[in-house]
Amino acid sequence: MPLIQLTNIEKILGDRLLFDKMSFQIDKGERVGLIGENGAGKTTFFKLITGEVKPDLGDVSIAKGGTIGLLSQDPTFAPGSTLIDEAELAFKELHDLAHEMREIEHQMAENYTDKLLEKYSDVQHDFEIKGGYAWRHKLEAVLDGVGLSRDDWEKQVDSLSGGQRSRLALAKLLVAEPDLLMLDEPTNHLDIAATEWLENWLLNFGGAVIVISHDRYLLDRIGTRIVWLTQRKFKSYPGNYAAFEQLREIEMTTQQRAYEEQKKEIDKQSEYVRRFKAGQRARQAKGRETRLNRFLSSDQMIQQVQTKRAMNLKISTDQRAGDMLLRVTELSKKFDDKQVWSDIAFELKRGDRVGIIGPNGSGKTTLLKTLTGNLDADAGEVRWGSNITIGYYDQRLDDFDPDNTAFEEVLDNVEGYNEQQLRDAMGAMLFGGDDVDKPMHLLSGGEKARVALTKLLLNKPNVLLLDEPTNHLDIKSVDALERALDTFPGSILCVSHDRHFLDKVAKRLLVLDPPGYIDFEGNWSKWRQKQQEIAQQAKSQSKPAKQQNKRDDTKRTEPPRKVEAKPQQNQPKKDNPYSRTFGRLSVSEIEAKIVSTETELARLQREAASVQVSRDPGKSKQARQQIDKTSQTLRELEQEYFLRGQS
């Protein structure tokens, strides 16, 4: 039986028909990528499954006992709690079971009965199958994986950034391991390393997954099926996103060819009816006309391929900049005691297309804001060239007057255009009819992104500074943005974690690795390949590769794009695996040790539940100490195994 099944769903929102006899099902082990235009109803579909939204017609059925976990784009938490307290709520059931076990232990120590022992065994069994003593390590591994550092764990949830809140919500969902995971743009606030960690986690997850995402790399890596929401229905395609594109192209070609053949036949029959309707063959013509009309109103009619409008984004400039656009020398920035980056030095020339990548907290957005003058550096110099017009795209999309309509927002921020020209420009960005009169505070993230891009293209910059420009766009809009940037005659400096976008747009990367950086000639795929080569070389030499702050480029030698970072007084020491308890063991030895430790832990737990031990308070306490010690050993082994997987 499917985990989830929706049959002949109809749903009307306002005066708009969102779903028309839509059906869907998913089985255990499937990983479905859900795609479609912004506003097509993908998030509403999730709400139909959770019951937050009810269908007007049709049935939604969930397998008996099936559990569902939903990652929303606006998570809420209990005020006043810390990050780690909130994360531990995902294990509330385990906490309750552990507390119940301790209560029964006290009762058995005072007045032992077989009934109490049986109850204890049942509770202990539930405790073990739900994760048991390994829950803490499991939670810590997931928090680390999604990019929530240990320095953040004691922070109040009220003080967390939007990105940290989203990552906390994702971590809670993953450790809960429901039968069905529903993820709505899970990578929006993840850096590349955390995104790759999530992909690996989902590949090893035994349940079912539905993910709404514009990240084509993720959809290619994890997708077993792509479901496309189009024309108020779902169309299903086996395989990942790359397979979907191929199958869709074949489907469209076949459909268009069949449509054209059908049209020829219809035209032929229509011409026969027209010519002979009033002549000697009127009877035959009448019969053909009847059959033709019946066919035209039947389900056998093949429709012409419908192509939805895409953003018509073209960014041009009417001012040519000089050859040297930007020179950055010995730039440093610190927040409190944290050195974000130190002695950054690079140049940007006309026509350069540079992507900025690095872990969350490495100062990517801070660097862009320092370059625009919105933040001051602690040291160093930023020198822009002549004839520079900067277009800045802020990922927060909050630099708006909330009382403005979409049209008024554009009108207030551009010059030299009349009203009709502005409306035409917004129409090209898919703002049709009354959409331009919507208040800014009611717009979706995708609509706000299109307003920001409209302002950008109308101001005709010759340098673009873009901060995560793909976050709120659907795949079709990202494609349009990539095409526009490909033909943009100016220069680009772009922060992004979208690997496909970086491959298409960037020819060079600034890789922030606090407090240093690497200036790399090439796109994301070349950088990834280089890192894999370094890792392989390090493995073969049995020693860690040293990442140096130097130019990784053999083609360009002048001018140098990289200044060696000055040594820091309090730089963290390089990780030495031999200083860890199990650092000297090989991976196979660690795996064997984990198995034997789990076996020993199970034996100790059975022993603790035995009549002889449970009736003796002294023996019961000693058994609990042995269990705690063995559990700690197991956590250390699993942590070592996790670290080896990250290296």
Can you name the residues that pair with 233 across neighbouring β-strands?
Answer: 230
Cα-Cα-Cα-Cα torsion 588, 589, 591, 594, nearest 10 degrees, comes to 180
In the chain, % of residues over pLDDT 70: 90
| Res. 553: pLDDT tops 50 | no
pLDDT of 647 = 55
| Res. 543: pLDDT tops 60 | no
The domain spans of the chain are 1-67+178-239, 76-116+133-175, 244-296, 331-378+462-566, 389-458, 579-646
Per-residue pLDDT reduced to its tens digit, 21-41: 999 999 999 999 999 988 889
The superfamily CATH assigns to domain 331-378+462-566 is P-loop containing nucleotide triphosphate hydrolases (3.40.50.300)
pLDDT of 638 = 75
CA R_g for the chain = 30
When the pLDDT of each residue in the chain is averaged and rounded to a whole number, the result is: 86
| Res. 105: pLDDT tops 90 | no
pLDDT of 617 = 63
| Res. 82: pLDDT tops 80 | yes
Query: d(Cα 427, Cα 82) in Å, to the nearest integer?
Result: 46
pLDDT higher at 176 or 33: 33
pLDDT of 80 = 86
Only one residue has tokens 């997931």, namely 142
pLDDT higher at 499 or 592: 499
pLDDT level of residue 579 (50, 70, 90 thresholds): low
pLDDT of 240 = 95
Query: d(Cα 357, Cα 192) in Å, to the nearest integer?
Result: 8
pLDDT of 613 = 63
| 3-class DSSP state of 132 | helix
pTM: 0.76
Under 8 Å between Cβ of 395 and 163: no
pLDDT level of residue 179 (50, 70, 90 thresholds): very high
Q: What are φ and ψ of residue 327, in 5° steps?
A: -130, 120
Q: What is the mean pLDDT of residues 210-228?
A: 96
Is-same-fold flag (1-67+178-239; 331-378+462-566)? yes
pLDDT level of residue 646 (50, 70, 90 thresholds): low
Query: d(Cα 317, Cα 93) in Å, to the nearest integer?
Result: 59
CA 206 to centroid of chain Cα atoms: 20
Q: What is the mean pLDDT of residues 39-46?
A: 91
Distances (CA, A) of 573 to 54, 336, 516, 577: 56, 21, 15, 12
pLDDT of 331 = 95
CATH tag for 1-67+178-239 (out of 3.30.70.940, 3.40.1160.10, 3.40.50.300, 2.40.50.140): 3.40.50.300
pLDDT of 575 = 53
Give the tokens for residue 250: 């074949």
Q: What is the mean pLDDT of residues 226-246?
A: 94
pLDDT of 337 = 83
pLDDT level of residue 606 (50, 70, 90 thresholds): low
Per-residue pLDDT reduced to its tens digit, 115-159: 888 888 888 888 887 777 677 788 888 999 999 988 889 899 999
pLDDT level of residue 511 (50, 70, 90 thresholds): very high
Only one residue has tokens 């009220």, namely 158
Give the tokens for residue 411: 């009108």
Per-residue pLDDT reduced to its tens digit, 335-383: 888 889 899 999 999 999 999 999 988 999 999 999 999 999 999 999 9
pLDDT of 578 = 55
pLDDT level of residue 614 (50, 70, 90 thresholds): low
| Res. 278: pLDDT tops 50 | yes
Per-residue pLDDT reduced to its tens digit, 420-479: 999 999 998 888 888 899 999 888 888 999 999 999 999 999 999 999 999 989 899 999
Q: Give the Cα-Cα-Cα angle 410, 414, 420 (nearest 5 degrees).
A: 65
Under 8 Å between Cβ of 640 and 590: yes
Q: What is the mean pLDDT of residues 182-205?
A: 93
| 3-class DSSP state of 539 | helix
| Res. 634: pLDDT tops 70 | yes
| Res. 551: pLDDT tops 60 | no
**Of 238-247, 304-313, 484-493, 571-580, where does mean pLDDT reach its minimum?**
571-580
